[in-house]
């Protein structure tokens, strides 16, 4: 079983909800992918980002990854991070993991948010806004438009600065110019904005003729918020420490 040196077993003792009761300390390559997805259904969302199709039957994670040409250690790193709140890979683990898919994985996550989830939420917002008093509709649409601009700028900045920086380092090239320092705060701000959006929708929008769609919208936003928090963890706990380690080791 994969274990981390700096994370004591007791760290996971808080995981005692019925969802997690039957899970061992961490996921391993020998476990069935179906069992992992059953343990944490959010993992179904990350499979397309690895190019792993559904229909994996009874295959283990190791077998599925081999067939999809995905480094299994990296896949497990992501699945564990998505599932165990206190999971924190140490630098030895990052240094010995095949990180060739890190940038493609993060880019695929950005595409999923910008091309699928955000437009989907936008459609709900426009539809609901068209059914409520105009001044409320305008505020709702403006708030969402501001959020989309902010998150797009955030993704673009990562795609222009951090991702190319990592790709260069992985090819043994250390860029001379110093990259903009990475701000964890910007992740918090994005999540705060999404929380504000849900509050606006269920606390302050007057009753409208689309209660079911409004509820759907709230759950879509909550799901996106939770996924983006995990995405942020991948960047803060994997991407940045790994970039820093590669830089240090090239000095
Ligand atoms: Fe990102
Ligand atoms: Fe980010």
C-alpha of residue 206 to centroid of ligand 1, in Å: 34
Do 143 and 197 touch, CB atoms closer than 8 A? yes
C-alpha of residue 5 to centroid of ligand 1, in Å: 27
* Residues 26, 82: Cα–Cα separation, whole Å: 11
C-alpha of residue 110 to centroid of ligand 1, in Å: 6
Instruction: Report percent pLDDT > 70 for the chain.
Output: 86
Q: What is the mean pLDDT of the chain?
A: 87
pLDDT at 237 over 50: yes
Among 12-16, 122-126, 172-176, where is mean pLDDT lowest? 12-16
C-alpha of residue 138 to centroid of ligand 1, in Å: 29
Which pair of structure tokens corresponds to residue 175?
Answer: 């860029």
C-alpha closest to that of 94 among 2, 159, 30: 2
Give the DSSP H/E element, type plus range, for residue 172. Answer: none
In sequence order, the 6+-apart residues with CB closer than 8 A to the CB of 37 are 43, 44
C-alpha of residue 66 to centroid of ligand 2, in Å: 29
The per-residue pLDDT for 25 is 67
């Amino acid at each position: 079983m994969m274990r981390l040196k700096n994370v004591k077993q007791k760290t996971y003792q808080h995981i005692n909800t019925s969802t997690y009761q039957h899970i061992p300390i961490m996921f391993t390559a020998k476990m069935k992918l179906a069992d992992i997805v059953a343990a944490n259904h959010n993992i179904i969302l990350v499979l397309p980002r690895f190019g792993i199709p559904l229909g994996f039957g009874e295959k283990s994670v190791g077998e599925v990854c081999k067939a999809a040409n995905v480094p299994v250690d990296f896949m497990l790193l992501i699945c564990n991070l998505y599932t165990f709140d206190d999971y924190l890979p140490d630098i030895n683990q990052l240094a010995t993991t095949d990180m060739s898919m890190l940038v493609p994985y993060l880019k695929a996550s950005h595409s999923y948010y910008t091309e699928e989830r955000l437009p989907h939420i936008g459609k709900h917002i426009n539809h609901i806004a068209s059914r409520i008093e105009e001044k409320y509709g305008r505020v709702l649409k403006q708030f969402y438009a501001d959020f989309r601009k902010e998150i797009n700028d955030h993704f673009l900045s990562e795609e222009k600065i951090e991702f190319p920086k990592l790709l260069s380092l992985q090819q043994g090239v250390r860029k001379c110019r110093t990259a903009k320092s990475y701000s964890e705060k910007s992740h918090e701000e994005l999540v705060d904005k999404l929380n504000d959006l849900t509050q606006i929708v269920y606390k302050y929008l007057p009753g409208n003729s689309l209660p079911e769609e409004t509820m759907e919208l709230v759950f879509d936003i909550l799901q996106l918020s939770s996924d983006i928090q995990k995405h942020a963890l991948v960047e803060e706990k994997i991407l940045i420490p790994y970039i820093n380690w590669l830089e240090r080791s090239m000095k």
